[in-house]
A and B are shown apart, each in its own frame.
Chain A
Amino acid sequence: MTDIYLGADRATDAEAAAVDEALRDRGVDAVVQPETERLYTSGRSRRLERRHYLLPALHALQNAVGWISPGGINYVAEVLGVPPAEAFGVATFYDLFRTEPPDHDGDTFHVCVDAACQIAGYDDLVASVRASGGHVHLGSCLGQCERAPALFVQGTGGRPDYVPADAEPFELPQAGDPSLRLLRRIGVADPESLESYRAHGGYEALQRAGEMGADAVLEAVAASGLSGRGGAAFPTGVKWRAVAAETGRPKHVVANCDESEPGTFKDRIVMEHDPFAVIESMTIAGLATGAQNGWIYIRGEYPLATARLQGAIDAARAAGLLGPDAAGTGHDFDIAIWRGAGAYICGEETALFNSLEGFRGEPRNKPPFPTTHGLFGEPTAINNPETLLNVLDIILDGPDDYRTRGTERSPGTKLLCLSGQVGRPGLYEVPFGTTLGELLELAGGVAGTGEFQAVLMGGAAGSFVGPDSLDLPLTLEDTRAAGTTLGSGVVMAFDSSVDMTDVVVRIAEFFRDESCGQCVPCRVGAVRQHETLVQMQKRGSLSPSRRALIDEMAEVMVDASICGLGHTAASAVRSALSLGLIASAPS
């Protein structure tokens, strides 16, 4: 709702065409409609209906000309009714968008500098890309830690984004293991074929859910004890029931496919190799909660997963498995894909909503919670793909069978992302309760020097554990009791040769880079924490007063930040200090 003021800059033909195409594909017309010279239709509701197309429009500009220019912003602003200053504020929030003219022709080669790629030596990769004339952009985790160092190529001039490693043949380390549940179709069913998915049991769960009805589905999910696999471990049944209880407003199911926690790649592999399962389980969530709108918010660095999901949606829709009366369940449900643009914080669910809605990906204060005030302020069930996948077995085999795996308080299996110095990095599925040592053994043990120094559990937001934790059962309750976390399933191993100070300083820098900047404790705290560690690194020691300062800063970040990013920004650092992995005493 605004009288949009545009400066003098105008879009080039290429920019306008790219935006037009992106919006036309989504059926979006301009907010201001001149019906005759004397009658214009516009207004607030038309603006509200269009705001969430900002992110796709910015992607279109970036992809077309390699940056988001003043003329391009003005064009988008006029079409969508978004003030240019706000559109600029959104564009500058994301790593994949540039708001200055590129100083190079061609694509941008994003290289990850986070822990797994750090120890795998991203320097060599950078050198080889540069040697072949590619423009390198160093940044945060790209979600390919099992094949570090990671590279993601951002296309320009209309060329698509791609990941060179996606061309390599894929094999699951546990391929053929009959105990696999969530991963059993991966590498077996053709991810691009609905028929193949069906031939491997696909869409039986939705069929079954339709017969059971929403209440029975909710009951089964609650009885299974399933909890969220993104890190917070909130009971899925409670969440779904809360959404189901909301009436009178549109409701949403959102798949949080923005996994960006350094060390995490599980959802990527699921989406790339079992995309129909994500679609089917979202449809069940829609049926159970009464939500008709499904949204996949996927990180921008996952082009293959995006393409496979889109293919699955298109095939499902063509087969009547999405859309009105989806799969004959009597429930209308459809799914749209929104691409993120490079911001760790957008994995936080409320930041994700803001990002999808076309605003800066800044987390919201909670309460209110997404179940009542989620996407567009409406009731929303938001889950990640791993969590969703569990629902298929719960429906098919029943909650009692589901509970035969795992422990009483952590039922089921868990996907774990093994990276760093292990023999066979990759995605693993084990029942909850498997010990850390057993898991590492399954993954081929500690590689490199063979001498185990530490494991980063749960990613940058998690914590380090040492060799004395090999007997730790991997359950929610045991990891919590041990003062660590499963988080998003990261298990990153470091052998004795790694300089952990480098790793920890980079983790601190990661939070400094990825803090959205909204709240003071995190915006400034993440910077001061990083600075303190850099001082430590330069001096080679940490004075008692600086050690105390780290704790003081951690305390305010934990206590007073808006979201989980601030709450966990000091966690790995403090664990590394207390394990003596870094500057344990002044030298």
Chain B
Amino acid sequence: MTGAATMTETAVTITVDGQPVEVAEGSTIHAACVQAGIDTPTLCWAENLTPVNVCRVCVVELEGSRALVPSCSRPAEEGMVVQTDTPRVRHSRRMVLEFLGSGVDLSQAEDLHDWMEAYGADPDRYSDEEHPVERVDEPVKVQDELYIRDYSKCVLCYKCVEACGDDAQHTFAIAVAGRGFDARISTEFDVTLPDSACVYCGNCVGVCPTGALQFKTEYDLREVGEWRPEDQTVTRTVCSYCGVGCNLELHVQDERIVKVTSPSDHSVTSGHLCIKGRFGWQYVHGE
């Protein structure tokens, strides 16, 4: 039986960089860009999370709009004319990447490196020896054996908060606290994770784009210089615990599982797992 009611979808046509693109009503400009094959940088956007449009790296020029608009969240409307590669767009994207790099450690935000190069972002130009700029510089929080938090790498994309909160896990162990440049992802009163509401589903780690949240296995390997993504295989399989049927991606290096993720397009998980699926694999290696 296939009974899911399929709504009759209305299509809208917009122009992206001079090219007409037809998308379903309700789709975003970003979706139209993807459909048109126009590569668009994103940071705070993920397909399994509600867009928060805070990083502003995906901005585009929309005819009739005074400011640039975030493509990740702005719905496409019939007749919109969008430019994705104007000097204004390039400038804003470059500055956003520069601003981020000037304040936090992006060394493990691998997805951003090509974009920074493409837009000529130079995060170092804000400071000189006499006048160092303010950066987020905090010790790594290692509070248990499952994952670590390194807020000197955090770009405040809100993804972890969304995954912990009402986009998936509904545990609400973390939120944004403080204001402005001092805003941080935090538990209440910065209590340790074991003292917080955290249930260690690792869904925050799963969505983190910069390595600010990292599985302990990955962190330990990186610490000794043994994290080698190029030597890793990724195998899709099904979790061994309860009967829900969550798909797992086993990341294996040197015949050992080093990380577990889930495909965000899987109908069962939408990319999210529980503590057992995420961390309960050690027994495979007889430990």
Contact = CB atoms under 8 A, between A and B. Distances in A.
Q: Does chain A touch chain B in the assembled complex, meaning CB atoms less than 8 Å apart?
A: yes
A343 interface: yes
B102 to A, nearest CB: 7
B157 to A, nearest CB: 9
B56 A519 contact: yes
Interface residues of B, number: 52
A82 to B, nearest CB: 9
A7 B172 contact: no
Contacts of B55: 519-520
DSSP class of A's interface residues: helix, strand, loop or mixed? helix
B222 to A, nearest CB: 26
A83 B197 contact: yes
B180 A7 contact: no
A112 B166 CA distance: 39
A515 B180 contact: yes
A524 B196 contact: no
Given A85-B172, A86-B175, A560-B68, A73 B188 contact: yes
B174 interface: yes
A251 to B, nearest CB: 23
Contacts of B91: 552, 555-556, 559
Nearest to A526: B180
A420 interface: no
Contact of A559 (B53, B67, B180, B197): B67
Interface in B132-175: 133-134, 155-156, 165-166, 170-175
Given A7-B195, A553-B95, A558-B67, A2 B171 contact: yes
Contact of B182 (A3, A73, A367, A517): A517
Contact of A83 (B59, B74, B175): B175
B68 A528 contact: no
A111 to B, nearest CB: 20
A304 interface: no
Q: In the complex, which of the residues A5, A515, A535, A562 has the most CB atoms of chain B within 10 Å of its own CB atom? A: A5
Is the contact region of chain B dominated by helix, strand, or loop, or is it mixed? loop
25 contacts: A3-B170, A5-B173, A70-B189, A85-B172, A85-B196, A86-B175, A88-B177, A88-B188, A93-B179, A343-B179, A365-B53, A517-B179, A520-B55, A521-B56, A521-B96, A524-B181, A526-B180, A527-B103, A535-B131, A556-B96, A558-B67, A559-B68, A559-B91, A560-B95, A561-B56
A519 B54 contact: yes
Contacts of A85: 172-175, 177, 186-188, 196-197
A512 B181 contact: yes
Nearest to B94: A556
B229 to A, nearest CB: 26
Contact of A520 (B99, B130, B177): B99
Given A1-B170, A86-B175, A523 B95 contact: no
A567 to B, nearest CB: 7
Interface of B: 53-57, 59, 67-68, 70, 73-74, 88, 91-92, 95-96, 99-100, 102-103, 125-126, 130-131, 133-134, 155-156, 165-166, 170-183, 186-189, 191, 195-197
A558 B68 CA distance: 9
**Top 8 nearest A-B pairs by Cβ distance?**
A83-B172, A89-B175, A517-B183, A5-B197, A524-B99, A556-B95, A84-B188, A88-B188
A345 to B, nearest CB: 8
Nearest to A94: B179
Interface residues of A, number: 54
Contacts of B131: 531, 534-535, 538
Contacts of B57: 520
A70 B166 contact: no
Q: Most chain-B Cβ atoms within 10 A of its Cβ — which of A93, A517, A534?
A: A517
B180 A517 contact: yes
Interface string A1-18: 111110100000000000
Contacts of B183: 516-518, 523
Contacts of A560: 56, 59, 67-68, 92, 95-96
